[in-house]
Homo-oligomer: A and B are copies of this chain.
Amino acid sequence: MEVELITIGTELLLGQVHDTHKQWLGQRLAGRGRPLSRQSTVPDDGPAICGAVQTALGRAGLVITTGGLGPTDDDLTRQLLADLLSRPLGRDASVAAQIADFFRQRNRPMPESVLVQAQVPEGAVVLPNRHGTAPGLAIEVSPNPFKAGGEPAWLILLPGPPRELRPMFEEQVLPFLEKQWPLRHGFHCRILRSLGIGESMVEETLRGPLRPLVARGLELGYCARIGQVDIRLSGSGPDVPALLVEAEAAVRAAIGKHIYGTGDETIAQAVVGRLIATGKTVAVAESCTGGLLGHHITNVPGASAAFAGGVLSYSNALKQKLLGVSESTLAEHGAVSKPVALGMAAGALEVSGADHALSVTGIAGPDGGTPEKPVGTVWLGLASTGRRPLAIRKFHPFGREVFKQATAHQALDLLRRRLQKND
């Protein structure tokens, strides 16, 4: 069954709002074996909306729209699609009561105009909205006037705001899909996440070992992000769970030391999770990343059990004052150097009392490079109680923000590898 997504809103095309629906819904649909086959965005404009929905219903078995269900003048979706499908709108008393409740609970007066959201097309299934006033709607288009054979399709209308759409999708749409279209063979998927090895090297290394499994039905996909490569193992059918176990073992045998996690785990989650599980802590001494490393760590809920804090030693003065890096080391080797990276990590370890300390010192650019240390040069340090300190040099000449992201991920990976060896 083909699945299409149509996100509706002029503000999305003007770039005023960032459209998160494709990625979020795409991940969840793929994870349930019903990958999105196409997505489009149209403005708040009648002919554009109707045309896109009509075209999609002519191809797909499920069409999801987002947006345009609110109470203002540019919210057109409900009325337009009711007209397109010749389903008269009528007020649903229970939706109207929920909307009135929503305002009463918040102690706000209810403008009469919001009750347009209680209008429901004939025969539509109402998907209640726990976090807003506009309910979702599921409409069975049967017979389907837009398909040559008339095969039925479902049209599901969801509200635009992510905090309303997401719980509605997980709590109501996914169970609805499982009921309407139970997958015959069951779809299975396993994602392994790697860091510290390039995409072409991953592909080249895995091609041989996975070839016999691909012949038996394994589907293999790679996805490269800044410094990271995800390996996606999937397939449909009764033999696939066993096949995925074999495939994962083959991947781990070939590149296991680069695999930091599975599913949608981040490197920060992997590191923080392991620290919490073993009762250990980490501190940071950041120069060029300017706080990004700490930001990643503290994005993980519960990070306070594992994160001791640290120092943003952007200036040489703070490197000396708070981390005890000596003036002579800075003068002799420069701030971007192995001795300074080691000194920063040692200083952060001592001042914080943590079990591990990561340090970062580099040249993010656009200025500050020299022939020996061009923009993009960075030293990463790691100090741990009772272990030898280490430092590595990396090079990321791809602009300031990519530099910071790649560097923060590598610093976390440096600690991940040390923690893994301790197991």
Contact = CB atoms under 8 A, between A and B. Distances in A.
A176 B159 CA distance: 38
A159 to B, nearest CB: 14
B41 A38 contact: yes
B318 A308 contact: yes
A388 interface: no
B351 A321 contact: yes
A302 B367 contact: yes
Q: How many copies does the complex hold?
A: 2
Given A15-B24, A291-B294, A301 B400 contact: yes
Contacts of A366: 301
Interface stretch (A29-37, A120-128, A239-247, A326-334): A29-37
A309 B17 CA distance: 31
A353 B314 CA distance: 13
Given A26-B15, A36-B14, A311-B311, A291 B301 contact: no
A19 B312 CA distance: 32
Interface stretch (A94-102, A148-156, A282-290, A413-421): A282-290
Contact of A398 (B131, B295, B298, B299): B131
Interface string A30-62: 100001111111110000100000000000000
Contacts of A297: 290-291
A143 to B, nearest CB: 24
A38 B13 contact: yes
Contact of A286 (B48, B223, B291): B291
B310 A312 contact: yes
B299 A404 contact: yes
B41 A48 contact: no
B298 A290 contact: yes
Given A291-B298, A312-B294, A312-B309, A22 B19 contact: yes
Given A39-B13, A399-B163, A309 B318 contact: yes
B309 A315 contact: yes
A220 to B, nearest CB: 12
A23 interface: yes
A230 B404 contact: no
Contact of A312 (B38, B40, B41, B311): B311
A292 interface: yes
A64 to B, nearest CB: 13
Contacts of A13: 22, 26, 30, 35-39
A280 to B, nearest CB: 14
Contact of A314 (B37, B38, B299, B307): B307
Nearest to A191: B16
Interface of A: 10-19, 22-30, 35-43, 48, 131, 163, 221, 223, 225, 230, 232, 284, 286-295, 297-299, 301-304, 307-315, 317-318, 321-322, 351-353, 364-368, 398-402, 404
